[in-house]
Structure 1
Amino acid sequence: MNAGEVTWLGVDVGGTFTDVVLIADGTLTTAKVPTTGEQSEGVLAGIETACESAGIDVAAVDRFRHATTAAVNAMLEGAGATTALVTTEGFADVLAIGRQDRPALYDLDARKPEPLVPPARRFEIDERTTPEGVERAVDPDAVRALADSIPEDVQSVAVSLLHAYAHPEHERAVADALEAAGEWSVSTSHEVLGTFREYERTATTVADAYVTPVIDAYMGRLTERARERGLPAPRVMQSNGGIAPAATVREHAVTTLLSGPAAGVVGASTVADADRLVTFDMGGTSADVGLVTDGTAARTTDATIAERPVGVPMVDVETVGAGGGSVGWVDAGGALRVGPESAGAEPGPACYGRGGTEPTVTDAALQLGYLGGESLGALDLDADAAEAALADLASEADLDGPVAAARGIYRVANATMTRTIRSVTVERGQDPRSFSLVAFGGAGPMHAAALADRLGIERVLVPAASGVLSAYGLLAADETHDAARTHRTRLAAADVATIEARYDDLEASVLGDASDPDRATIEREADLRYAGQSYEVTAPATDPFDPTAMRDRFHAAHERVRGYRLPDEPVELVTLRTTATIPGEEPPLSSAGTDDPHRTTRRVSFEGRYRETRVYDREGLSAGASVDGPAVVAGGESTVVVPPGWTGSVDDRGTLVLDGGGSA
């Protein structure tokens, strides 16, 4: 079966909407439906909507890929499994102690979040290993006694023993005893995150134990409902930007915490014809910003979710609470603020007509003319309700009516998102003017040109199906599996044979997770640092491992990331990393358009005043079509605002390329 004969399906669950992309015979069909409390219901409703629009049977789908917010929602809402922790004697409080950093340095009332496992469910066991070997063996009778003391309501157990990254045999013994003693799921630190740093490893293992039962139950329901409708089992986007079988993520769900944002970055890098990209995904609840350099999405192992460290590899995305549903409000000092509180899908912005009364970014966009009579997904917008909500805000903020309130919300939201883009570019030594901005999500293209003006970015790319690009990114993603293990040594004294043996073990681990090991390619990396540093820099590893070559690679990587090198300082090897990748296959798309995409005109606010502005039909813009600002390009899932001084043209892939022409 070639790519053109395959029917592709991608579903991305967001905080407000569930996005669906269906490609059959090269024809793209999209759907956007409200996200439901039980996510699988919204997923199936979106699939049925898209299939009905395309005129095909649900059972005709060949490939089903999925991004879910179930894991991150469990973390953010405190709705994960009842979890216990088993650790080495004397280390039960590592979760509470954490690091010495404070969430707000000068706030005397600042409080860290409560640990996911309270003291009553933390258990210690008398054992001890060191990086060199076993010092005190674990007593099987003590493990059985510990299992008997775990409360009956516990659903999941995290096992994180001291130095288990180097010698995991004690964790294996404890896990085996626990699995034999109860119905709970068990997460072990050497499998979840086989690296040193006790707090981060324990916190990540606890997070995995906390969300794995949630994802296991959710994926079980979704897989069963899909099977009943003749759909294949879903393959799931991981936080690292790679797809994995549902069975894999059901075992270690911590890998799905940034499932949706990762899909968006992958989709942006797939469709954009540029190697240096700032990806900007603005949905209903938040805005996510990522960076692509040399055609590769930036990744990190130092992420924080719900104020808790998670050390598994993730696409490096900064998230801010500024989405279409973000609420405008007035603080105690009388200043207008936007977000992070969101109206969500229920009741949603006031203009949704579902009982919402709080003014949001979407209400402001409707008042300013960026949105008009067209529907938003399956919703018809209520301009009167939006104006009433904005009028209430104007009165509270002492502003001159709903238009002033709308302009205030729009400017504050843009300022917030501009700061986020600066944080991933300027604050990391990157000049935003050397990047193109890829805008997607339901609200991203509406704000993109204004943000680019603020940042000096002259080129904005709005892909076809930009409103559901994260769902499209699922279809083109590679299958990716990661493994890591700490191995600390000076490069000058490195035992190459031991390092090669450990790389071989990591390679066997990632290939064991791959659906088709014969098609997988292996990439080796190493975390290194100058002696005395407290942080590492990752560099590509030679194969076979060559300490001299790795020293040179580290110097180059350190200078690129940190801005300097210390050629005379000794270099330490810290962690070995391996990634297995099975290349994805971008689905074929046929393009279509009309010679006259102009739809109508309406009054739209630019630079503080309303102007009569042309409104174009996005689906009617064929390759080679051009648009001069001021203009609005309206689509089924997103709207593009082209300010005065900007021009737009459609390339061969259907991407609307906006050129600021130095207007910033």
Structure 2
Amino acid sequence: MADDPTTRVGVDVGGTFTDVVLHTADGGLVTAKVPSTADQSVGVVRGIETACERAGIAPADVDAFAHAMTVSTNALLEGDGARTALVTTAGFRDVLELRRQDRPSLYDLDAEKPDPLVPRRRRFEVDERVTVDGVETAVDEADVRALADEIRACEAESVAVSFLHAYRHPENERTAAAVLREELDVPVSASHEVLAEFREYERTSTTAVDAYVTPAIDDYLGRLDDEVTERGVPTPRVMQSNGGISSSETVREHAVTTALSGPAAGVVGASDTATGATEKDGLVTFDMGGTSSDVSLVRDGAAERTTDAEIAGHPIGTPMVDVTTVGAGGGSVAWVDSGGALRVGPRSAGADPGPACYGKGGTDPTVTDANVVLGYIGPDASLGGDLELDVAAAHDALAALADDAGLDDARAAARGVYRVANANMTRAIRRVTVERGHDPRNFALVAFGGAGPMHAGALAADLDVDTVVVPRACGVLSAYGLLAADERHDAARTHQVALADADPGSVDSVYDDLVEEVLADVADPDAASVTRAVDCRYAGQSFEQTISIPAFDPETVAERFHAAHEDAFGYRLDDPVEVVTLRASATVERDPLDVAYEGGGDPVSGTRAAFFDGDYRETTVYDCRGLAPGTEFGGPAVLDGRESTVVVPPAWTGRVTPDGTVVLEGGERA
């Protein structure tokens, strides 16, 4: 394991709040939540300074800084990334436009696919040709230099280079990229460096995404580096989509790896704090923030990962934590559609002006406003530690919604908003469990994010899940996950061959190259452990499954693939098995966080009316800071914390573990 510094800070930027967790030398855990800012670095610095002030230390006393941000995601969702050019093989200019032949919504005649990140006028062709067997037509450097003049003339801010079969023979692409880097003063992303795997569209899309977000990531991290260095804070190490952290320099060279930076940190934090808290087979992680809710699975102590993901309709083939996202967060706006039905999201009130109850001028009714009206958030709550609630504004916003929806009053509208938001999130949980062959009753639901613990009990009851785990730092768990995350680097290369014909020597040679590649990015290669995996499929199948292997042995590979296929799909075949892609990962484990927790005092802070079982009833309110280890309580109850609120339905019970985690048990429908 790596030598961990004594004082470290993790900062996660969300759509509404920027979350901070500071782990001090004596095992103390200090949290902070500040509003996110348009320039994310401003909110990050403000959050670090707030946490340090609460801990009684100076920012310069911080020994390490880990960071997760939404710069890449925002660029893709909002369409404001770099002005990108694409250089590709002659005849393949339109691969981004042609995409795949599937339709985003089979029965929707008006469904449209998103526009390519690179418009046709900035897509350029080069006369070169490579097959799977080698180079047939070498690229002419003079042609590429002439092309550089055209790219310069179109004022491109970055360039993506993706040649046919460059994953197998990158010589032509390597030459073209080198010339463009020499001729142009803009970032150049080459597909064999970004994603050395077959499938032309996915590889080109991933490379285009990398080029599209690289200038924004480079500019942001450069600006943040200057800001924190000025205050004596170390350069940040950044969370990647694969659930591992990396140096700022490495991330700036591989920007696409940050596409799901924040959600990945939350899954890591949930796995670190909740694994071992129950005897369940696995965890369903449920992160409900201000803008959206993210759901993922943790099995056998490891987060589920995928290489088949999309953001804003753009495929990304790099490894990432498998997260399903729905547009239902605390700031999601409730509205009435043309048919008179009550809807929630995906539009969000954001941080400025935010929900009506923030008292910053917002008038749109949101999920947070509904929770205020339902009594789950108390009138004295201080959201994010600084925002004072405007309860009257929340009631006014819900009353206006009730008029639009034909409901009796603000309370009826609040109940409707709460139920609709829960229905959206329940569907997301079913997608990662039931639709993938997993019984949610065999999992514990780990609730975190500013709004997650308020909805978790109701979601668990709807899904017949009888255990909910709420980590101590639930309101800022993604920031906590940054401190618990290992350093991780991945590499892959397509090596397509029938398993029966695979030459172990040739396969091992590819693995040697991959291991060398991942270790080159590791800060301390001597501390790294390397794992190998292989993507396999039955002959004739279109998609693969990834299986871990200690070493390449055809018999072991076949046995593990058959078992994995049967586990995922319920059957195995006698058909020949194909090897498709080889993978290697290097991991440097971090020492476990030593977190001191005592709690104590009188945890009961009073009572208030909250909505349960179809009516408002007087409910016990606990102060989370007063819940000592071993404390037990029953529902209905509300646990008030600095960054989050936990709602305990009737007939559920709760207990506090030695590290401050709250475990709720029940199972009856709320």
Structure 1 length as normaliser, TM-score? 0.98
Q: Deviation per CA, 1:304-327: give whole Å up to 9, x if none.
A: 101111000000000000000001
Residue 152 of structure 2 aligns to a residue in which SS? Answer: coil
Q: Does 1:432 align with 2:434?
A: no
Match of 2:197 among 175, 186, 195: 195
Q: Which residue of 1 aligns with 2:148?
A: 147
Question: Does the 8 Å CA contact 1:8/1:587 hold for their aligned counterparts?
Answer: no
Residue 150 of structure 1 aligns to a residue in which SS? Answer: helix
Q: Which runs of 4+ in 1 moved over 3 A?
A: 1-5, 661-664
- After TM superposition, the structure 1 = structure 2 runs for residues 30-429 of structure 1, keeping only pairs within 5 Å, are 30-152=31-153, 153-272=155-274, 273=276, 274=278, 276-372=282-378, 373-377=380-384, 378-429=386-437
Residue 628 of structure 2 aligns to a residue in which SS? Answer: coil
- In the TM superposition, residue 4 of structure 1 has moved relative to its aligned partner by 8.9
Question: Does the 8 Å CA contact 1:267/1:472 hold for their aligned counterparts?
Answer: yes
Residue 37 of structure 1 aligns to a residue in which SS? Answer: coil
Distance in 1 (CA, whole Å) between partners of 2:548 and 2:568 is 14
Distance in 1 (CA, whole Å) between partners of 2:37 and 2:5 is 32
Question: Does the 8 Å CA contact 1:3/1:588 hold for their aligned counterparts?
Answer: no
Q: Does 1:551 align with 2:553?
A: no
- In the TM superposition, residue 661 of structure 1 has moved relative to its aligned partner by 5.1
Question: Does the 8 Å CA contact 2:518/2:586 hold for their aligned counterparts?
Answer: yes
- In the TM superposition, residue 578 of structure 1 has moved relative to its aligned partner by 0.5
Distance in 1 (CA, whole Å) between partners of 2:523 and 2:2 is 19
Task: In structure 2, give the amino acid aligned to 1:314.
Answer: M
Question: Does the 8 Å CA contact 1:645/1:663 hold for their aligned counterparts?
Answer: no
- In the TM superposition, residue 2 of structure 1 has moved relative to its aligned partner by 10
Q: CA separation of 1:49/1:491 partners in 2, compared to 1, >3 Å: closer, same or farther?
A: same
Identity of counterpart residues, as a percentage? 65
Question: Does the 8 Å CA contact 1:281/1:287 hold for their aligned counterparts?
Answer: yes
Task: In structure 1, give the amino acid aligned to 2:626.
Answer: G
Residue 213 of structure 1 aligns to a residue in which SS? Answer: helix
- In the TM superposition, residue 63 of structure 1 has moved relative to its aligned partner by 1.0
Question: Does the 8 Å CA contact 1:4/1:26 hold for their aligned counterparts?
Answer: no
Question: Does the 8 Å CA contact 2:195/2:317 hold for their aligned counterparts?
Answer: yes
Q: CA separation of 1:620/1:2 partners in 2, compared to 1, >3 Å: closer, same or farther?
A: farther
Distance in 2 (CA, whole Å) between partners of 1:29 and 1:494 is 54
Question: Does the 8 Å CA contact 1:17/1:345 hold for their aligned counterparts?
Answer: yes
Q: Does 1:561 align with 2:568?
A: yes
Distance in 1 (CA, whole Å) between partners of 2:59 and 2:651 is 45
Residue 151 of structure 1 aligns to a residue in which SS? Answer: helix
Distance in 1 (CA, whole Å) between partners of 2:289 and 2:5 is 32
Question: Does the 8 Å CA contact 1:4/1:588 hold for their aligned counterparts?
Answer: no
Distance in 2 (CA, whole Å) between partners of 1:339 and 1:301 is 28
Residue 550 of structure 1 aligns to a residue in which SS? Answer: helix
Q: Which residue of 1 aligns with 2:527?
A: 519
Distance in 1 (CA, whole Å) between partners of 2:345 and 2:592 is 36
- In the TM superposition, residue 375 of structure 1 has moved relative to its aligned partner by 1.0
Match of 2:473 among 439, 443, 465: 465
Q: Deviation per CA, 1:530-551: give whole Å up to 9, x if none.
A: 00000101111241x1112211
Q: Any gaps of 5 or more consecutive residues in structure 2? A: none
Q: CA separation of 1:149/1:483 partners in 2, compared to 1, >3 Å: closer, same or farther?
A: same
Residue 233 of structure 1 aligns to a residue in which SS? Answer: coil
Q: CA separation of 1:187/1:3 partners in 2, compared to 1, >3 Å: closer, same or farther?
A: closer
Query: RMSD value over aligned CA atoms?
Result: 1.2
- Length, aligned pairs only: 662
Task: In structure 2, give the amino acid aligned to 1:250.
Answer: R
- In the TM superposition, residue 595 of structure 1 has moved relative to its aligned partner by 3.4
Question: Does the 8 Å CA contact 1:82/1:155 hold for their aligned counterparts?
Answer: yes
Distance in 2 (CA, whole Å) between partners of 1:525 and 1:515 is 22
Distance in 1 (CA, whole Å) between partners of 2:292 and 2:591 is 29
Deviates more, 1:495-504 or 1:239-248: 495-504
- In the TM superposition, residue 585 of structure 1 has moved relative to its aligned partner by 2.1
Task: In structure 2, give the amino acid aligned to 1:464.
Answer: R
Distance in 1 (CA, whole Å) between partners of 2:554 and 2:231 is 55
Q: Deviation per CA, 1:72-103: give whole Å up to 9, x if none.
A: 00010011111000000000000000000111
Distance in 1 (CA, whole Å) between partners of 2:75 and 2:600 is 45
Q: Which residue of 2 aligns with 1:483?
A: 491
- In the TM superposition, residue 149 of structure 1 has moved relative to its aligned partner by 1.1
Q: Deviation per CA, 1:452-481: give whole Å up to 9, x if none.
A: 000010000000010000000000101000
Distance in 2 (CA, whole Å) between partners of 1:542 and 1:598 is 53
Distance in 2 (CA, whole Å) between partners of 1:659 and 1:592 is 22
Task: In structure 1, give the amino acid aligned to 2:631.
Answer: A
Question: Does the 8 Å CA contact 2:476/2:643 hold for their aligned counterparts?
Answer: yes
Q: Deviation per CA, 1:257-289: give whole Å up to 9, x if none.
A: 100000000000001125500000000000000
Question: Does the 8 Å CA contact 2:157/2:186 hold for their aligned counterparts?
Answer: yes
- In the TM superposition, residue 151 of structure 1 has moved relative to its aligned partner by 3.4
Q: Which residue of 2 aligns with 1:651?
A: 657
Q: Which residue of 2 aligns with 1:451?
A: 459
Task: In structure 2, give the amino acid aligned to 1:251.
Answer: E
Q: Deviation per CA, 1:601-653: give whole Å up to 9, x if none.
A: 11111122010111000011010011210100000000000011001000011
Distance in 1 (CA, whole Å) between partners of 2:420 and 2:437 is 25
Distance in 2 (CA, whole Å) between partners of 1:632 and 1:71 is 36
Question: Does the 8 Å CA contact 1:4/1:587 hold for their aligned counterparts?
Answer: no
Task: In structure 2, give the amino acid aligned to 1:423.
Answer: R
Q: Deviation per CA, 1:508-540: give whole Å up to 9, x if none.
A: 000001111111111100000000000101111
- In the TM superposition, residue 587 of structure 1 has moved relative to its aligned partner by 2.2
Q: Any gaps of 5 or more consecutive residues in structure 1? A: none
Q: CA separation of 1:555/1:5 partners in 2, compared to 1, >3 Å: closer, same or farther?
A: closer
Match of 2:600 among 577, 581, 594: 594
